[in-house]
Amino acid sequence: MARSASIRLFFERMTAKDVETIVAIEEVSYTSPWTRRMFESELWENPFSFAYVAREEDHRQIVGYTLFWLVYDELHLMNVAVDPAWRGKGIGEELVRFALETGKRRHIRMATLEVRASNFTAQSLYRKLGFYQVGVRRNYYREPREDALLLQYDFPPQSD
């Protein structure tokens, strides 16, 4: 269980029954949101995909989610979002930390992600957690068209 400010969270694998809530959060979080079909594809068709929901412990309400790929020795953070009613409470940070801890347990070497060049809030969070910029993907995002910053996190070496 992760602790976030005064909120107690727990994480569990995303299931089909969670998708409706996840899509609702997605639609208010992004200008080009993922569709129901995209989430379902990640859940059932992509063997590299790991999708988790964060639930508030007292009421079991989904307050956010993270979806990442683990491919060989790399983690790629695909999607993180927090319900607008729960933002500003450290939940986004806990979701990213959860993904990184999952990667660490699996001896991942590095994590990568793309973030909108204009999303300074997310960039600040990622930098706080140890991510740094390694590139730019020109015109990566649509609606509106925008560059993505490619960020990387290097896991400390682990002894086996």
Active-site positions read 114, 126
CA distances from 22 to 16, 53, 60, 109 (A): 10, 8, 14, 29
Q: Which secondary-structure segment (H or E) carries 102? A: helix 91-105
CA–CA dist 18, 32 (Å, integer) = 20
CA–CA dist 63, 95 (Å, integer) = 10
CA–CA dist 113, 10 (Å, integer) = 23
Strand 132-141 and strand 110-116: the pairing is unpaired
3-state secondary structure of 70: strand
